[in-house]
Structures are given as structure tokens and as C-alpha cells.
Amino acid sequence: MPIKWSALKVSEAIDMVEECVNQVVEPLEQAKLIVNEARKIPNLPQYVDQRLVRLIIDIKRLDGIKTSIVAIRQELPDGVIEAEKKKLESGSQLSLAA
């Protein structure tokens, strides 16, 4: 039974999301290093250190986004994206049935 939604469009959207996420990976890794260095500041109050740790945890949530992207791709029906691509490449054809 054919699906009524476009798996190809979902796949393309997820590709764009992944591209955006990939652009922020390196800067966020750099931010994590900076936060870790800030935690080494002498006589840092515990309440500030706790906030810095929380910031590191928030930055690590990027892994959750990556996991979600993989999960969405796994949910797309097998072979449907390729079938949609072939259909688009061949264009629409008129039916000869009367």
C-alpha cells in the first residue's frame, strides 16, 4: 500500500537539519573546552561551577539531536525514497486508459 506523504521530502528536510547541526558541532565543542577551562579558575564558587557544569550538559544535548536524526531516517520506509526519486526523474505520464 503506497504511503500518502512524501518520504523523500522528509529525508531532504532531515538532510538540511543535519547540515545545520554539523555547522554548530565544532563551535560547540570549542565552547565546551572553554567552559572546562573556566571551571579551573581558582577560588571559583561552587554555585558558579554548578552553572558551568549545567552549561556543559546543555552543550552535550547536541548528541540527542544527532540521535533523533538517525531515528527519523530509520523510520522512513525502505525503498520509498528511491521510488519517489525514480518517479520524479521519469516525470508524469498521461494515462491512456479511457
pLDDT band, very low/low/confident/very high, at 12 (cuts 50, 70, 90):
very high
Residue type, 45: P
pLDDT tens, residue by residue, 35-59: 999 999 999 999 999 999 999 999 9
- What pLDDT was estimated at residue 29? 93
Q: Which residues contact 67 (CB under 8 A, 6 or more apart)?
A: none
Query: Mean pLDDT score of the chain, rounded to an integer?
Result: 90
Instruction: For residues 14-42, give the mean pLDDT.
Output: 96
Q: What is the pTM of this model?
A: 0.72
Higher pLDDT, 82 or 47: 47
pLDDT in the model for residue 95: 52
> Region 14-19: what's the mean pLDDT?
97
* E-state strands within 1-98: none
Residue 76: DSSP 8-state:
S
Residue 23: pLDDT over 70: yes
Annotated domain spans of the chain: 7-77
Dihedral of CA atoms 11, 5, 2, 8 in degrees, nearest 10, equals -20
